Structure 1
């Protein structure tokens, strides 16, 4: 790893997503844009074919009066989902991706609050939507109906286009700073807000993100499409680079998809990285090869110091599980234990972490492949300024962001917008500090901060990271119980132990004590509660902390 940062990658900047896609169609017309399973075969759609289908769908929607409207979409990840998404982005409409895992009532609330005019939905959601009483007329189009749904609109649009209808192609687009997408956050407190992003916001994230990270090739798309990380960082970056996106059908099919598509990179969240890490080590232990594997790791590191890279040969069995061509994993969405990133680098797969938040489209900082410190979340994107507000003696304060990727505000909620925006600065609610190399370290969430009666401040995430380093621990929440007067005096840890590696309570206490032994006395755990089940999580796999403290 380099000791200092290096020049940014040269990246072409665009004023519109339409121009960005057209550029790829001209340059890579016959290159596969998307690959996915269809029945027992793999279907490949080129950039040229994809663009044509966007034109046909857009022509039909325009012909039916869908200009300056709100277009929503809900369903499993699919090529058709992407087709609706890109068609909306290439028009003067506003796109609303809806979290497919929301309860029925929340789905209806999002549709109402977003003022959707038309909803494209998977079969699973049709009854829910068609049986709802919306305040205004909402057209519902099936993504899955082969005769009367999306495919029918494409077919009709094709006929109109071939008969000379160019209304969609010649449509006057909105200004890049106008509203383009409304993303509803799925926070751990349950307060969902509609984040308003412009085309300028999204393109700033795409282009500035690619300036610090070389993300191109063949992607395996596994994250839900309603999530800003995959919508912008995954799908739009792929279009910019002319990459091929291979669409994974479901979480259960990830292993199969890796072998089928043989990707070179993946956008993931820490839950994926941790699962891969745990399965690799479990398999090594099951085969009784732990000692030999650790020796290979040591030998590989020694050889690397002399410029000899044998990682793909030494760890070929692991690479084969990832399809044999995996080069990098781009990880964001939540904190990741540094040892996991180090491990993947040790076996020859670069794992680059970053920091983002939906309100920033979402990327704020990112580690670079040759200037990578897993204890940090990397350097600031060029499109933004990032500062630490009111830092304490250790340089820790609230992270605030200002720049081209910062949201327009919360949809129809000026009061909530005012709570987090001031003079163009977005206050993230995350605490952190910068290293002397200008890499950002996240220390915790503002709302999770524990203030003990002795005046000491504790970020529970720091302690949780230490406890999660215990191999048998799968999940943990650290918090402070309040006494009768409401004071926080001592720390409690709720721990879920991996069922595959059971641990007696007394042994768990010893391991927790050892894991925290290097920390000050006031950061020691006074009480441990063992959970019988995993913690309840949001749809983005973040633990709902407030339910357990």
Structure 2
């Protein structure tokens, strides 16, 4: 188990690679017989070694080259699966471009991305085949449809990936080196990721291998990566693709694939991961589940006492967490040491709770345009409320800081994207003298820890001239146990001028069932009155709106901020 230190400590040693081809070749030697990926097939767990992964990638890549797709733009769509994993590694090592696409997008948005990315082929899971057929006539540019299972569609341009891999193996045995001999061009466009942003129109972010390799090499110097991870977040997301596939693969970690949200808890027990990559929504659900079960079993009071006792012992150098909280940690398989969270800030009580029972939550900060990692807390040097220290491959500065040291977060380094695909205007708008302008507001403390406090697009400018970052207030209000979700916006006068703050609230669904609508709304009003007593005048919540349904969310589970 990890213990937080008072000061930073030396970087972890990393065997650096120059490109992704070198990573696959190197791992096939140094981790040859170790398990790279575990997944379920027909109810049984299948383990694939690093040497077998190299053979799979080389065979698939050879087959794609023989089909004339070796230098094309190819999309991947579907749920997390072994096929997604090896396809991603394969396409990153062609002369072409990989385009991961969110399977939850409606057809019209997927069609727009396929066209904007100039895709020639699409690789998909069988569960997505129906949607592929619905879109097929709208994307005439797509010449090859490759199913990761046997496609149900019988057509000349529909292919079975498993059959292609077998033919690729045969070509290699006959001496074909069309794929294996490809020389990596680390500065060339290699990946197009279309941002899902909560406030704007998606844009195609261009990554080269230099961007991805920078994060792979440098993030590991800050993080003590363990031995086994359960892949939970969708692979199309930059965070999971770069960190959950590439970084874990480079480290020689066993990655176990989680199929759906329903299989998450059973898979924790099955695979017993030592590490997870999550978003705060997962953490929130797990946290609430633990306390709900403790209350149900009448053990909540003793759990609180044990946490208090354990924390007191930790302060004098005695770590009893493994002994005291073994039964609680069994809910995660019993071996979990660390969970790395990105996408939003962690709630303080959750950060403290998990550390108290022996599971370290490490908040990080990233953005797709930075491939995506910018900063992360370290296993044994982390700070509540901070998103961590900038990783070594990039520099971070605050533009035009205010009296509190807050300003726009700017990033410069090898992880920063090439730009937006065929959109020079949008690219120019986000660069300032070589620094990428994230659009996020933050500050850096005296020890170098980065804090994110809001988004420029969400900033509220009141009539008084005061700037308010709604995320800061939402984070505080979300600690009220009666509140499920909250968005803070501005109330406007007849001249459309922002004059005061309004909180739109979806109450905690479980507590609403237990207490009733009127009772829980009354409690929320009391809690917000108490909150207001501690705030300066410009941060007072002067209007409350209750809603009966959750807020609409993006596919990455962030609330769509269209309610302001």
SS of alignment partner, residue 500 of structure 1: helix
Superposition deviation, residue 159 in structure 1: 1.3
Who is 2:98 aligned against? 95
Superposition deviation, residue 132 in structure 1: 2.5
Who is 2:283 aligned against? 273
Who is 1:525 aligned against? 541
- Residue 9, structure 1, aligned to residue 12, structure 2: yes
Who is 1:451 aligned against? 461
- Residue 168, structure 1, aligned to residue 179, structure 2: yes
Counterparts of 2:245 and 2:224, CA distance in 1: 15
Please give the residue correspondences for 1:501-540 in structure 2 after superposition, counting only pairs within 5 Å.
Answer: 501-502=511-512, 503-540=519-556
- Residue 393, structure 1, aligned to residue 403, structure 2: yes
- Residue 249, structure 1, aligned to residue 259, structure 2: yes
Contact 1:108 1:132 in 2 (8 A): no
**Residue 129 of structure 1 is aligned with which of 110, 120, 132?**
132
Contact 1:123 1:142 in 2 (8 A): yes
Who is 1:154 aligned against? 165
Superposition deviation, residue 457 in structure 1: 1.2
Superposition deviation, residue 64 in structure 1: 1.8
- Residue 228, structure 1, aligned to residue 238, structure 2: yes
Contact 1:185 1:194 in 2 (8 A): yes
Counterparts of 2:550 and 2:453, CA distance in 1: 24
SS of alignment partner, residue 522 of structure 1: helix
* TM-score, structure 2 normalization: 0.95
Q: Deviations over 1:312-334 (max 9, x none)?
A: 22111211010010010001112
**Residue 50 of structure 1 is aligned with which of 44, 50, 53?**
53
Q: Deviations over 1:297-353 (max 9, x none)?
A: 110011112222111221112110100100100011122212211111011001101
Counterparts of 1:321 and 1:466, CA distance in 2: 28
Q: Deviations over 1:339-392 (max 9, x none)?
A: 211111011001101100000000001111221102111111111110000111
Q: Deviations over 1:436-461 (max 9, x none)?
A: 11101111011111111111111111
Contact 1:71 1:117 in 2 (8 A): yes
Q: Deviations over 1:388-409 (max 9, x none)?
A: 0011111110000011000000
**Residue 138 of structure 1 is aligned with which of 126, 143, 147?**
143
Q: Deviations over 1:50-85 (max 9, x none)?
A: 111111111111112222211110000000011110
**Shift in alpha-carbon separation, 1:137–1:372, aligned structure 2, 3 A:** closer
Q: Deviations over 1:74-119 (max 9, x none)?
A: 0000000111100011222211000000001011111111001110
- Residue 346, structure 1, aligned to residue 356, structure 2: yes
Matched residue count: 547
Please give the residue correspondences for 1:240-389 in structure 2 after superposition, counting only pairs within 5 Å.
Answer: 240-389=250-399
SS of alignment partner, residue 132 of structure 1: helix
Counterparts of 2:93 and 2:434, CA distance in 1: 27
Who is 1:33 aligned against? 36
Q: Deviations over 1:146-194 (max 9, x none)?
A: 7951111111111111122121111233x21111100011111351110
Runs of 5+ in structure 1 lacking a partner?
none
Q: Deviations over 1:225-262 (max 9, x none)?
A: 00000000111111111000000000111001100110
SS of alignment partner, residue 277 of structure 2: strand
Who is 2:507 aligned against? 497
Counterparts of 1:496 and 1:236, CA distance in 2: 38
SS of alignment partner, residue 501 of structure 2: strand
Contact 2:482 2:520 in 1 (8 A): no
Who is 1:409 aligned against? 419
Counterparts of 1:517 and 1:143, CA distance in 2: 58
Counterparts of 1:275 and 1:44, CA distance in 2: 30
Runs of 5+ in structure 2 lacking a partner?
153-158, 513-518
Counterparts of 1:291 and 1:518, CA distance in 2: 29
**Shift in alpha-carbon separation, 1:482–1:334, aligned structure 2, 3 A:** same
Who is 2:155 aligned against? none
Counterparts of 1:133 and 1:494, CA distance in 2: 40
Contact 1:116 1:138 in 2 (8 A): no
* TM-score, structure 1 normalization: 0.97
Q: Deviations over 1:508-536 (max 9, x none)?
A: 10012223432212211111111101111
